[in-house]
Amino acid sequence: MSAQGWRDLTPGAVVLDAGNAREVKTGTWRTLSKPVLKEENCSNCMLCWLFCPDMAVIVKDGKMVGFDYDYCKGCGICAFECPGKKGQKAIVMEEEKK
Amino acid sequence: MAVQINLKELSKKEILLSPGHRLCAGCSAPIIAKMVLLAAADYPVVANSPTGCLEVSTCISEYTAWKVPWIHTAFENAGATLSGVETMYRAWKKKGKIDKDVKFIAIGGDGGTYDIGLQSLSGAMERGHDLLYVCYDNGAYMNTGIQRSSATPLGADTTTSPAGTAIPGKVQKRKDLTRIMAAHNIPYTAQASPSHWSDFFKKVKKALEIKGPKFINVISPCNRGWRSRLDDAIQLSRLAVQTCYWPLYEVVEGVTKVTYKPREKKPIEEFLKVQGRFKHLFTPENEWIIKKFQEDIDQEWERLLKEESRDS
């Protein structure tokens, strides 16, 4: 992030680079724990992908493959909502050392 | 509608809201916004948001999380701004300057919708603009520090209706905006919840197929303001539906249809007890508020069911 002077701004301060908020790595906000995928319990239901507020669940070809820790704020909604398999969650929150 | 939404297929689509937005961890607003954008993925979309959590956090300085053309409007005029854009689009279409079938969607919080933006929203609806207004209702001015709004429920503790010896939290009931919108006799009004995502997707898709003004009110749990856990936003919206605090229904051309009926209506305590903003209600002197809360919900639910059987 670099500060811009008013001369550098577009007319009306219109942002032309759609989705450039991705330059802001909100993953640094995580304070307690991070979600970890237990692949053996995952049925690829995609609920984590749907419910993640930070678009931090990585899906490739219809398969849940992991998390983008650059953006995951560690809220834990994915782990809470994960139905898993046979009572075993596919996403667990693990303590994170900083 | 028999359309089933396949999440696996849906997950191949690009989400038109980028990560890196500065909404709190565990916030429901971006979940709702992304669901709306996914449901509208078949169309080119122009969006706007009035001042609120979603607006200030998705577009800070020269950074935007929106991958669709999006306009930031002031608190009071999301309806007016989008009306203007939609009118310009119609004029261009008439002149042959544009041939796309563009959809216009406003996404605002309860402050910008129930309170400050109500007049411009009402005007847009009355003039019959072809747009969809989605309200994410978190029940207070969360962005500025949890001040009460007209969407704040009875008894909730906020910084401007603090629970204490003088008052037991907010002393008034919340405004029923969905009914107010339905009373505009617009073609489509609905209430939805992110927990019942399939129902929500269908409502957005249905609304976008209809020409004219549409309104969808969505419950949006806020862990900061509701004093709840970081990870239970979806669970709280589910409880809101299961207790009938937030009934899922739609009014299509004046015909009411309840789209989800819980097999067993849960007592309102289950929704209240998991939120710190209602913790003071669980004392002998404030018991009457919970009782009143339940009575109001039962009454409204009965009214809805009656309205539905009248229309069917």
Asked if residue A57 belongs to a domain, the reply is: yes
The predicted structure's pLDDT at residue B1: 43
Asked if residue A47 belongs to a domain, the reply is: yes
Predicted ipTM > 0.90: yes
Q: Which residues fall within 8 angstroms of residue A43, CB to CB, at 6 or more apart?
A: A83, A84, A85, A90
**Cβ contacts (< 8 Å) between A13 and chain B: which residues?**
62
Residue range of the domain that includes A45: 25-95
Asked if residue A67 belongs to a domain, the reply is: yes
* Best residue of B5, B21, B67 to probe chain A, by most A CBs closer than 10 Å: B21
Asked if residue A38 belongs to a domain, the reply is: yes
- Our count of domains for chain A comes to 1
Asked if residue A34 belongs to a domain, the reply is: yes
% of chain B at pLDDT higher than 90: 97
d(CA A67, CA B264): 37
Write out pLDDT tens, residues B165-219: 999 999 999 999 999 999 999 999 999 999 999 999 999 999 999 999 999 999 9
Query: Is some CB atom of chain A closer than 8 A to the CB atom of B235?
Result: yes
CATH number of the domain at A49, please: 3.30.70.20
Among the partner residues B20, B68, B233, nearest to A22 by beta-carbon distance: B20
Greatest Cα pair distance, chain A, in angstroms, is 60
> pTM of the full predicted structure?
0.96
pLDDT band at B241 (very low <50, low <70, confident <90, very high): very high
The predicted structure's pLDDT at residue B31: 98
Query: Is some CB atom of chain A closer than 8 A to the CB atom of B232?
Result: yes
- The domains located in chain B, with CATH, are 22-311 (3.40.50.970)
> Which residue does chain B place closest to A29, by CA atoms?
B25
pLDDT band at A2 (very low <50, low <70, confident <90, very high): low
